[in-house]
């Protein structure tokens, strides 16, 4: 999937929106926290929000984009157990809700790939190198 120049900002917006949602309405997210994790689900919800907001800021800034986008890909892999927990917990809910919970599982793959592609195209990388960067010219 080719990236547009807006792609990093769209990814940052997705992360920021998710972070704000976790803070504004934490209760639904608390229910997704895998029960095997220690501590309060609310703590994990707020920690997830903080990580999402930090990743959003990192992806938005060209200087930190590559590292933040790679961390975002790892984060999307790391939250996969919460999506599995949701699918398990929602298996007796009405069909549309069940379908949404199950549909989230394969959605992680394009999210991970999107974040990886943003990292590859980031300034300073081979795909996102700025003019003159390859030759070592500094203007």
**pLDDT tens digits, residue range 63-109?**
999 999 999 999 999 999 888 888 998 889 999 989 998 988 999 99
pLDDT interval class at 34 (50, 70, 90): confident
Q: What is the DSSP letter of 37?
A: S
Helix (H) or strand (E) holding 139: none
Residue spans of alpha helices (H) in the chain: 7-24, 26-30, 41-60, 65-78, 80-89, 95-120
Which position has the token pair 């809910």? Answer: 93
Mean pLDDT of 35-55: 95
Sign of CA dihedral 124, 129, 130, 133: positive
On the question of pLDDT at 11 being above 90, the answer is: yes
């Amino acid at each position: 999937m080719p990236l547009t120049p807006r792609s990093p900002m769209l990814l940052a917006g997705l992360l920021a929106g998710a972070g704000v949602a976790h803070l504004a309405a934490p209760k639904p997210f608390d229910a997704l926290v895998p029960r095997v994790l220690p501590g309060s689900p609310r703590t994990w919800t707020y920690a997830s929000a903080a990580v999402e907001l930090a990743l959003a800021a990192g992806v938005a800034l060209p200087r930190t984009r590559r590292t933040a986008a790679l961390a975002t890909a790892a984060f999307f892999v790391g939250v996969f157990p919460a999506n599995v927990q949701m699918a398990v917990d929602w298996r007796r809910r009405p069909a549309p809700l069940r379908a949404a919970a199950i549909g989230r599982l394969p959605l992680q793959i394009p999210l991970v790939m999107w974040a990886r592609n943003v990292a590859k195209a980031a300034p300073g990388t081979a795909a996102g190198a700025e003019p003159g960067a390859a030759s070592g010219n500094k203007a």
